[in-house]
Amino acid sequence: MAQLTHEVFNQPRPLVDYNLFEGNRALQAALKHNAPQLDTAQFFALGGMLGRADMQAHARLANVHTPQLRSHDRFGHRLDAVEFHPSYHALMSAAIASGLHGTPWSEKSASPHVRRAAAFMLFTELEPSILCPISMTYAVTPALRKNAAVYADWGPGLASLSYDPAMKLWRDKPGLTMGMGMTEKQGGSDVRSNTTQARPDGQDAWGRRFRVTGHKWFMSAPMCDAFLILANTPGGLSCLFLPRVLPDANADGVGQPNAIRIQRLKDKLGNKANASSEVEFDDASAWLVGEEGRGVPQILEMGTMTRLDCALGTSGLMRQALSIALDHTAQREAFGKRLIDQPLMRNVLADLALESEAATALAIRLARAFDNSHDEQEASMARLLTPIAKFWICKRGSHFAQEAMECLGGNGYVEEEGEGIMARIYREMPVNSIWEGAGNIMALDLLRAIRKADAAAALAHELAPAKGAHPALDRLVAQLPLRVEAMATEVQARRLAQDVALVMQAGLLHQSAPDAVFQAFCDSRLAGNWGQTFGTLGAGTDFDAIITRAMPR
């Protein structure tokens, strides 16, 4: 008879069957500050659903059983289809039912973008990669209005709370999703170097039609119902609407697939549950959206929306990593006491908590600017904060995840059939920094935003409530106009983005966080009482208050 060689003990229980929103005091505070009229009952309900064991199982399975390309059937006919595990579809259904896609553009309630931002952050803690098509559907919806006929047909489906993965005519589906195809081999972020060609092909109920031939090196979520792409028309680089199924049915009432040829799926570091592809267009049909030759400005507008989601997504991943680290160290014992009671570990955990709350505060503040874009101050803040939040929050993500993983030791590094959530977070972190414009692109966008508005005045107005709250913050706020002027060059643009991000985060924490959080953030990030890595807060930090506030349950 086999003998057990040991008893398993001192191993933490998994963080499961808990409410993601109930313990997230940072998010609760950010919502109270930016949208006090929002009914938070919806977030308690969503947080409870997302923390359930069955939903976590869906997240694991969607990442273990990754998307598979079926280019042809067994008879040699092209399929250009992507197959997903059922758990992927379960997650997509939940995300769309939660209104994380195009719903804010049709909502009449107060603060629809803040409401959606909070839900997006919570869902990211469960599974972030399926949110790629969700984010793109959110981003393209306002741009699609520039073709009124297409929007009239597609708008209701893009805001629907129903999910249907079938490849069918748009009018036969209860809900629709959309993606984007901009990046080409030779250009990357330089979309003006695109070579895809579109020749005129007449006009119909959806407006000017074109025939598109070319390629896209990186087109994420190729199973979406339609895409906005860039192509060269006779009038210049233009934005086109390209459906996966052509609008005209055959004699049997079945829609015919458009000529979108999926060449391969990308093998990525992370973002595993989401299919990203390389495609070719072989005389595909597409319709003009907006003014011919004005494709790049339209793409920049859509990029603003997806960049908000990059900041929200990284903030959500930070919170998930922090929650796991806190829960693990509260249970695990070493050298005679719990890890969370060890002084050095407390420094690390408190430092991570500060970073996470600051990221949440900045990301939700940016979402508020989208809800009030008609206001001149809010419009200025949207232009400034979008590249700042995308740059700084996403840059901090990978370092944050590595430190949180270290709190678990080897248990954090190991993946057993996808159960290693911390390893999954670590692999996911870089995508938000790279996607929709890496760090240099964001820094250059900040320079463009500064030149379009009185940035110093807008920032001064934003930071006025924090005047006198901390001497280091006062000094930096006083210096900000000179810094904006002196650093408004390409070579110093990253430093400027960092400085403005830190000042903004400090100002927001003064208004939404307890004094212990605000003072520790300013002492470390602004006054210099901090090292080169997490876990180097000063000895006078109120570790108890910061860690207690951040505990997930």
- For 347, phi then psi, to 5°, come to -65, -45
**Quick check: is 194 in a domain?**
yes
Domain termination residue (choose one: 294, 310, 342): 294
Q: Which two tokens stand for residue 359?
A: 């990221």
Number of residues in the chain:
553
Whether 367 and 438 share a structural domain: yes
Whether 316 and 287 share a structural domain: no
Whether 289 and 302 share a structural domain: no
Determine if the pTM surpasses 0.85: yes
Q: Which two tokens stand for residue 196?
A: 């895809």
| Residue whose entry in the numeric block shows the structure tokens 């005129």 | 200
Query: What is the per-residue pLDDT across 39-91, written as a single tens digit (0 to 9) for each?
Result: 999 999 999 999 999 999 999 999 999 999 999 999 999 999 999 999 999 99
Give the C-alpha separation, 189 to 360, whole Å.
27
Whether 183 and 201 share a structural domain: yes
CATH of the domain at 317: 1.20.140.10
Q: What is the DSSP letter of 194?
A: -
Whether 131 and 44 share a structural domain: yes
Q: What is the DSSP letter of 415?
A: -
pLDDT attached to residue 2: 61
How do 207-220 and 337-338 pair as beta strands?
A: unpaired
| CA angle (16 as vertex; 13, 17 as ends), nearest 5 | 125
How many CA atoms are closer than 13 Å to the CA of 125, on its beta-carbon side?
A: 33
Strand partners, 276: 220
pLDDT attached to residue 461: 92
**Quick check: is 19 in a domain?**
no
**Quick check: is 496 in a domain?**
yes
Q: Which two tokens stand for residue 329?
A: 């160290």
Residue among 397, 400, 305 at smallest CA distance from 349: 400
- CB-based contact 314:391 (threshold 8 Å): no
pLDDT attached to residue 365: 98
Listed in order, strand segments (DSSP E) in 159-303 are 178-181, 197-204, 207-220, 226-233, 236-243, 245-249, 255-257, 260-265, 276-288
- Which parts of the chain register pLDDT below 70? 1-3, 251, 417-419, 453
- CB-based contact 402:348 (threshold 8 Å): no
Give the C-alpha separation, 492 to 430, whole Å.
23
DSSP string, 105-140: GT--SS-HHHHHHHHHHHHHHH-STTHHHHHHHHHH
How many CA atoms are closer than 13 Å to the CA of 362, on its beta-carbon side?
A: 33
**Quick check: is 331 in a domain?**
yes
Residue 328's contacts (CB-CB under 8 Å, 6 or more residues apart) are 12, 15, 339, 407, 408, 411
Amino acid at 188: G
How do 276-288 and 236-243 pair as beta strands?
A: antiparallel
Angle between helices 25-34 and 543-550 (to 10 degrees): 80
Amino acid at 528: G
Handedness of CA 533, 534, 536, 537 (dihedral sign): positive
- CB-based contact 260:222 (threshold 8 Å): yes
Give the C-alpha separation, 46 to 124, whole Å.
12
Give the C-alpha separation, 4 to 11, whole Å.
17
Whether 535 and 399 share a structural domain: yes
How do 276-288 and 207-220 pair as beta strands?
A: antiparallel
Q: Which two tokens stand for residue 417?
A: 């059939």
Query: What is the per-residue pLDDT across 378-408, written as a single tens digit (0 to 9) for each?
Result: 999 999 999 999 999 999 999 999 999 999 9
Could you list the residue range(s) of the whole structural domain that residue 66 is in?
25-159
DSSP string, 332-352: -EETTEEGGGSHHHHHHHHHH
User: Please, is 22 exposed, middle or buried when counting C-beta atoms within 10 Å of its C-beta (0-12, 13-18, 19+)?
Assistant: middle
pLDDT attached to residue 179: 94
Whether 511 and 368 share a structural domain: yes
Instruction: Output b/e per residue, 248-276; b: 16+ Cβ within 10 A.
Output: eeeeeeebeebbbbbeebeebebbbbbbb
Give the C-alpha separation, 49 to 66, whole Å.
23
How do 178-181 and 226-233 pair as beta strands?
A: parallel
Query: What is the per-residue pLDDT across 349-370, written as a single tens digit (0 to 9) for each?
Result: 999 999 999 999 999 999 999 9
CA-to-CA separations, 305 to 66, 312, 493, in angstroms, rounded: 27, 11, 22
**Quick check: is 14 in a domain?**
no
Give the C-alpha separation, 353 to 318, whole Å.
9
**Quick check: is 129 in a domain?**
yes
pLDDT attached to residue 373: 85
Whether 143 and 193 share a structural domain: no
Residue 402's contacts (CB-CB under 8 Å, 6 or more residues apart) are 426
pLDDT attached to residue 484: 81
Residue 397's contacts (CB-CB under 8 Å, 6 or more residues apart) are 314, 317, 318, 429, 430, 432, 433
Domain termination residue (choose one: 277, 294, 311): 294
Domain termination residue (choose one: 109, 129, 159): 159
Total domains present in the chain: 3
Whether 250 and 116 share a structural domain: no
Whether 302 and 340 share a structural domain: yes
Amino acid at 427: R
* DSSP H helical ranges for 372-466: 376-407, 410-413, 421-434, 439-452, 455-463
Whether 153 and 226 share a structural domain: no
pLDDT attached to residue 190: 83
pLDDT attached to residue 286: 98
Give the C-alpha separation, 233 to 392, whole Å.
37
- CB-based contact 368:362 (threshold 8 Å): no
Residue 2's contacts (CB-CB under 8 Å, 6 or more residues apart) are none
Whether 56 and 102 share a structural domain: yes
Give the C-alpha separation, 553 to 258, whole Å.
50
**Quick check: is 201 in a domain?**
yes
**Quick check: is 40 in a domain?**
yes
